[in-house]
Amino acid sequence: MRRPYIAGNWKMNLTPSEGKAYASALAEAVKKAGADCRVMIAPSFVSLPGVVEAVKGSDITVSAQNMADHLSGAYTGEVSPEMLRDIGVNTVILGHSERRQYYGETDEIINGKVLLAISLKMEVILCVGETLEERESGKLEEVLKRQIEVGLKDVLPAEMDKITIAYEPVWAIGTGRTATPEDADAAHAFIRRTVAALYSDDIANNLIIQYGGSVKPGNVRALMAKENIDGALVGGASLKLDDFLPIITFNK
Ligand code: PGA
């Protein structure tokens, strides 16, 4: 059984004090609602310590949105995974399309980060997804296959329980344009087949695959009803309790 996994990617929003206050309110609301899915939030680096503190004692996972591809050294402006672990953050989002698009992260760079995170026993949400141009020119499967094969290169079968994949079509992120549940499910099924071919049916069947791209309270249920959609990676709608809580409690 794959337990639903709802994650909020705050991106570069909410100051540390806003984030801390929101995280406390969220932890309380999630507890009160008796949500039975796994819940994660990913604030910016500077907000992480306050948010970790704010959700202590709850079941909410706190994740980083990115990390350096080295453990330490002369890498000005970077944050090492060891620093994250030191403050109690053991989960990281890697390969988000905004990192790929605006900061030049290649599949090879992302793979280096995945391997580093896993060597420290961290959990990873690996983001994959095609641009509109790639989809329209029929390259969807080719792009997903490459992002998965290169992104997971040298990840051992026994380490795959540390990996979640988020399918985020670039054209659906922050645009209000969601993939139809059918299109998303088809992409998820392809991702699962790709992982089965690389690893095993068992590993593929246990893999959590989140959908991301304009997930809202009004569309989450239809997406989550699909066989291969196991969770959501939510951007804009994760920033307010009134939007995020109904997403977390989609099955209530
Ligand atoms: P969005 O972002 O929900 O604002 O479209 C999703 C994401 O980028 O993770």
| Catalytic residue list contains 168 | yes
Alpha helices (runs of H) in 42-167, residue ranges in sequence order:
48-54, 81-86, 97-103, 107-119, 132-136, 140-151
Cα of 122 from ligand 1 centre, angstroms: 23
Contact call for residues 87 and 51 (beta carbons, < 8 A)? no
- Model confidence at 176: pLDDT above 90: no
The catalytic position among 149, 168, 182, 188 is 168
Residue 47 in contact with residue 64, Cβ under 8 Å? no
The angle formed by the CA atoms of residues 171, 172 and 177, to the nearest 5 degrees, is 115
Tens digit of pLDDT for each residue in 46-68? Answer: 999 999 999 999 999 999 999 99
Other beta carbons within 10 Å of 110? 24
The protein residue with its alpha carbon nearest to ligand 1, atom 6, reads: 235
pLDDT band of 209, cuts 50, 70, 90: very high
Dump pLDDT digits (tens) for 60-101: 999 999 999 999 999 999 999 999 999 999 999 999 999 999
Q: CA-CA distance, 90 to 62, in Å (whole number)?
A: 8
Mean pLDDT, range 163-191, rounded to an integer: 94
3-state secondary structure string across 153-213 = CCCCHHHHHHEEEEECCHHHCCCCCCCCHHHHHHHHHHHHHHHHHHCCHHHHHHCCEEEEC
pLDDT score of 1: 82
Residues contacting ligand 1 via CB (< 6 Å)? 9, 168, 173-174, 212-215, 233-237
Token pair recorded at residue 32: 């009160």
